[in-house]
Amino acid sequence: MRDKLAEIGARLDNIYYCPHHPHAELKAFREDCNCRKPRTGLIDLALRDFDIDMTRSYVVGDRYVDIDFAKRASLAGVLVKTGYGMGEIEYKSEGNPVPEYMAEDLLDAVKWILEREGTVGEKSP
Ligand SMILES: [Zn+2]
């Protein structure tokens, strides 16, 4: 993924992931930890590593757990209709937090974020 992004001049500052699962077969990974969504442990790690402007940060995901995660972290949540998104909207929207935006796909999510940030048309460095 990093190589593909580098080909077009983009980069990821870091990748955070949770190796745990409450029912993992391997005992070493069997944990209901703070980094599993919707808990915000992974954002806490990123905040430790980087000076992140949380007022201009977003969560983009295809599940309501991602939107719940966004709300808990006081971030704007964007639900994409791709992946699990349409199924989530169809069967799980009741009782779940409302996303700031429902995007057709990741590109639509990016466009919405750029518009909201007022950076449409600006050239990246
Ligand atoms: Zn974890």
Inside any domain, residue 124: no
The residues with which 78 forms a beta bridge, in sequence order, are 60, 101
Number of domains in the chain: 1
pLDDT of 125 > 70? The answer is no
Inside any domain, residue 16: yes
Expressed in angstroms and rounded, the spacing between residue 64 Cα and the centre of ligand 1 is 19
Distance CA 9, CA 19 (A): 29
Residue 22: predicted pLDDT: 92
Inside any domain, residue 40: yes
Expressed in angstroms and rounded, the spacing between residue 30 Cα and the centre of ligand 1 is 9
Distance CA 123, CA 106 (A): 20
Residue 119: predicted pLDDT: 79
CATH code of the domain in which 22 resides: 3.40.50.1000
Expressed in angstroms and rounded, the spacing between residue 38 Cα and the centre of ligand 1 is 11
- Other C-beta atoms closer than 10 Å to the C-beta of 73 total 19
Inside any domain, residue 106: yes
pLDDT of 48 > 80? The answer is yes
Residue 20: predicted pLDDT: 93
Inside any domain, residue 101: yes
How far lies 119's CA from each of 44, 106, 115, in Å? Answer: 27, 17, 6
Inside any domain, residue 123: no
Determine the structural domain holding residue 44 and report its residue range.
Answer: 2-117
Expressed in angstroms and rounded, the spacing between residue 23 Cα and the centre of ligand 1 is 12
Contact by Cβ (8 Å): 110, 119? no
Inside any domain, residue 63: yes
pLDDT digit string, tens, across residues 83-123: 999 999 999 989 999 999 999 999 999 999 999 999 776 65
Contact by Cβ (8 Å): 110, 104? no
